[in-house]
Structure 1
Amino acid sequence: MDRTDTMRRTRILRWASLSAALAACAAALAAVSLTGWSLFQPDTRYMVAIGRWIIENGKLPTSDPLTLHEGLAYICQQWPLCIAAAAIFDAFGEAGIKCAAAVLDMAAAATLWACTLDRGRTGAVHMAASAACGAAIAVLCNSTPRGVDVMALCVCYAAGGKWARGGRDSLLAAFPAAGFAMAQLHGALWTVALMVPCCLILDGRLDRHGRLKALTATMSTLAACMLNPYGARLPMVPFATMGAESLRSVGIGELAPWTEAAPAQAAAACALAAALLLYRLRVRRRGGGRALLEAGDLLVLGTLMLALANVRNELFLMASMALALSDIQGEVAGPRVSSPIPAAACCTAALLASLGLLAATVPRQTPIEASAARAMAALESSGAEQGDAVICDIDVGSELELAGYRPLLDTRAELYCPELNGGTDAWGAARHVLAGDENAIEGTGADFAVVPSGAYPALEDSLSGLGFSLVHDDGTFAVFARKPS
C-alpha cells in the first residue's frame, strides 16, 4: 500500500470515528428531548434575561437587577455567554437557543474526540469510546455552557502532554489563554484551566527546570483569570461557593456531594478511576518506564476528588479519564479496519439519521414550557405589568425574569448565599414567604404569585387570607392575583 492510499484510508477512518462521536451526541440529545427535558432550561432563561439587561444598560451588574432582592452583591460570571444568549433568543427565539445548546454539546464532543485521537491511526476502541463520551457529554451538558469547560480541559491537556513529551515551551501559553477565556465565558469554573498545569508541577517525568516552567504557567494562568471586569473577586467565587454552609439548604441537587446524591455511581467511579490508573502504571512498567505518577494520573485523581465533593464535576472526571486513556491509545486501539469505506458510510448515515432524529424530537415547547406560557398569559391578563413583583419559587423564577417581572427567587444559588452576597440571608427570607408567613408575604410588596400547583398549601392559604384569588391552575402552575380593594 503506497503512501497516498495510506493517507486516504486514514482520513476515511478519522471521518468515520468523528461521525460516530457526533452521531452518539445527537442521538443522546434526541433521547433526552423525548423524555420531555428541554434544551432551554431555567439557567438559560436567566442568562437571556441578564444578557438583555447588560445590552440595554451597557454595563455589567454588580448587584442583582432582576429579582425582588435589589442591592444584593452579585457577579455575572458568564457575561459574554449571557449577551450571546440574549442576541440569539431575540433573533431566533427558543429554537435558536436549543440549536445553540446542541451545537455547543457537539463541539465539546468533537474537541474531546480530537484530543484523544491516537497519532497516526484510528482504532475501533477509540471510535467506540468517542461515541460513549459524546453521549455522556450530551446528557451531562444538556442546555448548560459546560461544554466550554470540556473544550478548555481538552485543549489544556493536549498542550501540556505535547510539551511534556519534548514540545516547545510556547505550548505553555495555552494555559493562560484558556484561563483568560474561561474567566470570561464561565467564571465559576475557571479552575478547569488551572487543573492541568497544577498536575504538571507534580509530573514524575519532569526535572526541576520543567517543574519551574509548569509553576510559571500556573501562576500566569491565575493572573490571566484576574483579567476580567470583576478583577480578583471573580476567581474567589468558586472557593467561596464550596465553603458556603448556607448553600446546603438551597436544595439544588448539583451542589450536593456525589457520595450523597448517588453513592452507587460514586463507588463505581472510584473503581473505574483506580482500574485506569493501575492499567496506565502497568503499561509504563511493561514498556521499561518507571511507575511514577504523570499529569494524566494526577488529573484523574484530582477530578475524582472534585466529583466526590460536588456531583456536577462528574463531567470533568469523565473527560479526564478519556484523556488519560488516550495516552496509551496505541496499546488498546485494536487492529486497523481492512476496508474503511463501509465503516465511514455507516457512521455518516448514523450521523445524518441522528441529526434528523434530533430535529424531529426537539419540540417547540415541552409540556412544562407550554404550561409556563399559559401561566404567564394568565398573569398578564390579571393586570400584571413588566417590573411587577411576583412571589414564586426557583423553578418559576427564571421564566418570570424572561417575561420581564421581578421574581422572589431564581436559579442563581450564589445570589442567596450570605457568604457571597454581602451577608443577607435572602434564601431564609424567601423560605418564610413560601411557608405562608403573612408578614413576610406583605413585606415583598407583591400583588401576584406563580407557584407549582399544590406545592405550597400553606402559602396558598395565606394568600387567600390576604385577599389573593386563584386566577389560573392547570395542574402544573397556579397563578394568584390580589383582588382590587
Structure 2
Amino acid sequence: MTMSATHAAERAGPMRGLLPVWVGAGIYAVFVLAGNHLLIDPDTMWQITIGQWIVDHGTVPHTDAYSFTMRGQPWISTQWLAQVAYAAAYAAAGWTGPVVLASACIATTFALFTRFLAKRLNESTTLVFIATALALTVPHLLARPHVLALPVMTAWVGGLVQAADRRAAPSFWLLPLIALWANLHGGFVLGLALVAPIAADAVWNADARMRKPLALRWAAFAAASLAASCLTPYGWNSLLASRKILALGEALPLIMEWRPADFSAVGPLEICLLLGLALALYRGITLPPLRIVLLLGLLHIALSQMRSLEIFALLVPLFLAAPLAKQIGAAEDAKATISPPHGALIAGLAVTLLAGTMACASMIRFEPHMRGSPVAAVAELKKLNFSRVFNDYDFGGYLIASGVAPFIDGRTELYGEKFFVAHNSASGLMKPENLFRLLDDYRIEATLMRTQSAATKLLDHIDGWQKIYADELATIHIRKPGAAHTAEPAVDPSAY
C-alpha cells in the first residue's frame, strides 16, 4: 500500500505542476472568445491614441495636448508603456491586437496566481480561490493599462510574500518588476506601500536573533525598490503623480469606478465576503496579526473603491495561502515538476492556442462597443469645425480618439477637483449657474451632452442656444449667432 501511494504521488506530482498552465490556457481562450467584452470601455480608444502619439514623436507627454481647457498645462502619463503596447498591438492587428494582448496578460496573471497558491494549498482550495478571483475581477478586466500591470503586480507581491513565508528578505531580482510596473501603471505605488507591512510580518515571525539583520535587509530592499520605481521617463515625478489622484477629494465619488462598494443588491463581493466569514467561523481559521492587518487594509480599499476589487481578489489569497495551508489542507509534498513529455505538451498547447486565436480573429469581428459613444453626433460636430465644445464627461475619451479637443475627459488628475466638480454640477444642474458660467467663461461654441441629461433639457428652452442634432444618446446645441447670452438667460416660451 505504501508503494502504491508513493507511485500515485509521483504520477500526480507532474500533472499537478501543470495546473497553472491549464488555468492560464483556459482563461486565455475564454477571454479571446469573449474579446469584445474587453473593448466595452471607450477609454481604450484614447489610450491607443496617446500611445500612437508617443510612438510618432519618440517621447512621452509632459503637457496636455488634447483638451482645449488645459492645453499646455503640466501632465504626464504614468501608463505610457501600456499605451505604447496597445498602440503597437492595434497597428499590427487592428482591434484583434489589443484583445490578444489583454487576454494574454489576464491569462498570465491567473497562471502566476495559480502557481503561487498551488505550492501551498491543495487543488480544490486553489480552484476555489481562482473561481472567486475571476468572479470579482471580470467586470474590470478590460483592454486598459491596468490589465497589463496585473501579472507584474501578482509576481511582485507573490515574491514578497514568499520571502516573508521563509522569514527571509526578497531577492533583488524582483526589482525589475517594480521598474516595469512603474512604467505600465500608476498602481505601482501600492506595490511600494506593501513592502513595509510584508517586511514587518517577516521580521515579526523570525527568530529573535535574526530580526535585526532581517529588518536591515528588508530596509535595503525597500530603498532599492524606491530607486527602481523612479526608472521611468519621468523619474521621481511618477511617484508624485499619485498625489494628484489622492487630492481629487470630492471628485472621486463622482466617478463610477472610484465609488465605494454598493450592497443595495446582492453581488459577487458580498457573496464572497459572507462565504469567507462563514468558513472562518465554521473551521475556526486564525491568521497571524500582520496578515490580519494586510487583509483588513486591502478589504478597506476594495470597499472604498470598486476599481480596487481586482487588487483584493488577487492579493488577499497570496497573504492567506501559507496560514490556510496549516489549517485547511496543504499541497502535496510531491514536487510539481514538468518532465520533457509535458514540455512537449506545453509547446503543443501553445500552438493550439495560436491557431485558435487566428481562427477566432477570422470569424469574430473585434471592435469597440460603440453603443455608449456619440459616433453619429461627433461626425456631425466635426462638420461644423468648432474648436470649443462643452462635452459630457463620458464623451471625452471618444472625442480625443476622434481628433476633437474635449472640454473634459477621463484624465481627472489633469483637471483637478474644483474643475471636475464644477463641470459635474453644471451638467447635472445641481448648480445651474455653473453651467452658464462655464459656457461663458470658456466661450463655448457648441455643447455635446447626453440627450437625457438635465443640462441638455434646459438648453432646449434657453434663448441663445439652438439644437441642431439629437439622437437617443447625444445632442448638439450651438450658440445662436448674435444672441445676447447672459449669466441668467431668459427662457424662450416658444420652445415649450
Please give the alpha-carbon distance, in whole angstroms, between the structure 2 residues aligned to 1:301 and 1:210: 25
Change (3 A) 1:242 1:263: farther
CA-CA distance at 1:264 after TM superposition = 8.3
**2:311 counterpart of 1:307:** no
CA-CA distance at 1:368 after TM superposition = 0.5
- The superposition leaves residues 270-297 of structure 1 with CA deviations (integer Å, 9 ceiling, x where unpaired) of 66676788899957xxxxxxx7435x44
Letter in structure 2 aligned against 1:392 = N
> Which structure has the bigger radius of gyration?
2
**2:187 counterpart of 1:183:** no
SS at structure 2 position matched to 1:478: strand
Greater shift in the superposed pair: 57-66 or 136-145 = 136-145
Structure 2 unaligned spans of 5+ = 334-344, 483-496
CA-CA distance at 1:68 after TM superposition = 1.9
Letter in structure 2 aligned against 1:384 = N
Change (3 A) 1:147 1:193: farther
Please give the alpha-carbon distance, in whole angstroms, between the structure 1 residues aligned to 2:360 and 2:31: 9
Contact 1:448/1:481 (8 A) holds in 2: yes
Aligned to 2:339: none
CA-CA distance at 1:20 after TM superposition = 4.3
Aligned to 1:317: 312
Aligned to 2:486: none
Aligned to 1:88: 89
Contact 1:78/1:187 (8 A) holds in 2: yes
Change (3 A) 1:426 1:324: closer
Change (3 A) 1:429 1:454: closer
Letter in structure 2 aligned against 1:309 = S
**2:385 counterpart of 1:384:** yes
Contact 2:157/2:191 (8 A) holds in 1: no
Aligned to 2:473: 476
Letter in structure 2 aligned against 1:85 = Y
Equivalent position to 2:289, from 279, 290, 293: 293
Please give the alpha-carbon distance, in whole angstroms, between the structure 1 residues aligned to 2:51 and 2:178: 22
Change (3 A) 1:264 1:104: closer
- The superposition leaves residues 214-269 of structure 1 with CA deviations (integer Å, 9 ceiling, x where unpaired) of 122222212222232323332133344234324246x1122233478989877767
Aligned to 2:226: 222
Change (3 A) 1:481 1:149: same
Normalization by structure 1: what TM-score?
0.76
**2:99 counterpart of 1:98:** yes
Aligned to 1:375: 377
Please give the alpha-carbon distance, in whole angstroms, between the structure 2 residues aligned to 1:199 and 1:261: 34
**2:9 counterpart of 1:12:** no
SS at structure 2 position matched to 1:68: coil
Contact 1:25/1:138 (8 A) holds in 2: no
CA-CA distance at 1:410 after TM superposition = 0.9
Change (3 A) 1:24 1:198: same
Equivalent position to 1:231, from 217, 225, 235: 235
SS at structure 2 position matched to 1:450: strand
Aligned to 2:454: 456
Change (3 A) 1:85 1:479: farther
CA-CA distance at 1:184 after TM superposition = 1.1
CA-CA distance at 1:475 after TM superposition = 0.9
**2:146 counterpart of 1:146:** yes
SS at structure 1 position matched to 2:374: helix
SS at structure 1 position matched to 2:171: helix
Letter in structure 1 aligned against 2:226 = L
Please give the alpha-carbon distance, in whole angstroms, between the structure 2 residues aligned to 1:53 and 1:261: 43
**2:214 counterpart of 1:210:** yes
Letter in structure 2 aligned against 1:417 = G
Aligned to 2:198: 199
Please give the alpha-carbon distance, in whole angstroms, between the structure 1 residues aligned to 2:58 and 2:262: 43
- The superposition leaves residues 356-396 of structure 1 with CA deviations (integer Å, 9 ceiling, x where unpaired) of 99977875353515x6333333334x3338xx333211211
- The superposition leaves residues 397-429 of structure 1 with CA deviations (integer Å, 9 ceiling, x where unpaired) of 1011001110111112212225xxxxx735525
Aligned to 1:341: none
- The superposition leaves residues 108-147 of structure 1 with CA deviations (integer Å, 9 ceiling, x where unpaired) of 112211221226x862332343244344333333333333
Contact 1:375/1:478 (8 A) holds in 2: yes
Contact 1:297/1:324 (8 A) holds in 2: no
Please give the alpha-carbon distance, in whole angstroms, between the structure 1 residues aligned to 2:283 and 2:205: 14
SS at structure 1 position matched to 2:447: strand
Letter in structure 2 aligned against 1:256 = R
Change (3 A) 1:129 1:122: same
1:11-90 superposed matches below 5 A: 11-15=14-18, 18-20=21-23, 22-23=25-26, 27=30, 39-70=39-70, 71-90=72-91
SS at structure 1 position matched to 2:448: strand
Please give the alpha-carbon distance, in whole angstroms, between the structure 2 residues aligned to 1:105 and 1:173: 25
**2:417 counterpart of 1:415:** no
SS at structure 2 position matched to 1:475: coil
SS at structure 2 position matched to 1:465: coil
Letter in structure 1 aligned against 2:18 = W
Letter in structure 2 aligned against 1:46 = W
Greater shift in the superposed pair: 395-404 or 172-181 = 172-181
Contact 1:152/1:192 (8 A) holds in 2: no
CA-CA distance at 1:76 after TM superposition = 0.9
SS at structure 2 position matched to 1:63: coil
Please give the alpha-carbon distance, in whole angstroms, between the structure 2 residues aligned to 1:454 and 1:260: 27
Equivalent position to 1:364, from 352, 363, 367: 367
Contact 1:259/1:266 (8 A) holds in 2: no
Please give the alpha-carbon distance, in whole angstroms, between the structure 2 residues aligned to 1:373 and 1:464: 26
Structure 1 unaligned spans of 5+ = 284-290, 337-343, 419-423
Change (3 A) 1:425 1:132: closer
